Amino acid sequence: MVIQLNTVIPLGRTFDEYVRMFDLTQQDLNKSILSVADGPASFNAEGTKLGFKIKSVDPLYKFSSTQIKSRFDQVVDNIIKQVEETPKDWVWTYHKSSHKLRKNREKAINVFCQDYEQGQVESRYEIGELPQLKYLDCEYELGLSSHFLFLYSEQFDQDFHLNSIKEMLRVCQELRIFPLLTLKNKRSPYLEFITEKLEKQGHNCQIKKVSYQLQAGGNEMLKITKNS
Ligand SMILES: C[S@@+](CC[C@H](N)C(=O)[O-])C[C@H]1O[C@@H](n2cnc3c(N)ncnc32)[C@H](O)[C@@H]1O
């Protein structure tokens, strides 16, 4: 699918949010990490500064940082307004308020934009799109998917999810996905089918509670360890 900038909502999360969403320990962070659908998150920029080895993949990376930031500026007011109009859908233990949520999203995209050109030179940001990845079998120790798989269950069907997860497992020893909810704050209808299918193939699937929540009820992460 060819990605159009005017259909993308380029909102990114920070390194601290990634650590909490994926329950990342120092040992996890020391692994080679492939973060798919990474968008304008500052996980790579901040993590690289701390000495970690992270590659981000997203179809969005065919655009320049100026284009990505101007799309963010176009949509952010409306997104925050939608959040404020649906108070029951959100939990403020982490972000505290919609105003601070906006500040965190601005911080993430600004740090991302400052790092983006250098990161492209270093091949830390690469254009790519599920359900196919160009990497070798087992090239990465840990694969992450934040706010893409399961969240967009209405836009991407069950086959897309299964094929994407299998592809990430081809490339990564272990895979973590957050959240398990759709945009309507319901558990993805594909979760059970996919975990059952993967377990039958000998992979280990665990749903873990994590110390991050913004969508009400969205504090669970799926950890899949590959059958090697
Ligand atoms: C909501 S953003 C999440 C960004 C980041 N992971 C985070 O949590 O801050 C979803 C991202 O999925 C990307 N995306 C859309 N289709 C994709 C595909 N087929 N494969 C990989 N990424 C895709 C979009 O470009 C966008 O950057």
**CATH code: domain of residue 193:** 3.40.50.150
How far is ligand 1, taken at its centre, from the CA of residue 116, in Å?
16
> Three-class SS of residue 190?
coil
Would you state the pLDDT for residue 227? 82
Region of residue 147 (phi > 0: left; psi between -120 and 50: alpha; otherwise: beta): left
Which structural domain, as residue segments, surrounds residue 195?
Answer: 5-225
Q: Whose CA is nearest to atom 26 of ligand 1?
A: 39
The best mutation among 56, 58, 111, 160 to test binding of ligand 1, ranked by most ligand atoms within 8 Å of the C-beta, falls on: 58
Sheet holding 54-57, edge to edge: 125-126, 54-57, 33-36, 140-146, 172-178, 220-225, 204-209
How far is ligand 1, taken at its centre, from the CA of residue 135, in Å?
18
How far is ligand 1, taken at its centre, from the CA of residue 37, in Å?
4
> Three-class SS of residue 155?
coil
Distances (CA, A) of 203 to 77, 142, 181, 197, 224: 42, 15, 22, 9, 7
Nearest to 162 by CA among 137, 192, 138, 204: 192
Residues pairing with 146 in the sheet? 178
7 Cβ neighbours under 8 A, 6+ residues apart: none
Q: Give the type of residue at 29.
A: L
How far is ligand 1, taken at its centre, from the CA of residue 137, in Å?
22
How far is ligand 1, taken at its centre, from the CA of residue 167, in Å?
16
* Whether the CB of 198 sits within 6 Å of ligand 1: no
Q: Rounded CA gap, 25 and 200, in Å?
A: 28
pLDDT tens string for the chain (228 positions)?
556 667 778 999 999 999 999 999 999 999 999 999 999 999 999 999 999 999 999 999 999 999 999 999 999 999 999 999 999 999 999 999 999 999 999 999 999 999 999 999 999 999 999 999 999 999 999 999 999 999 999 999 999 999 999 999 999 999 999 999 999 999 999 999 999 999 999 999 999 999 999 999 999 999 999 987
Domain count along the chain: 1
First to last CA, the chain: 31
* Whether the CB of 45 sits within 6 Å of ligand 1: no
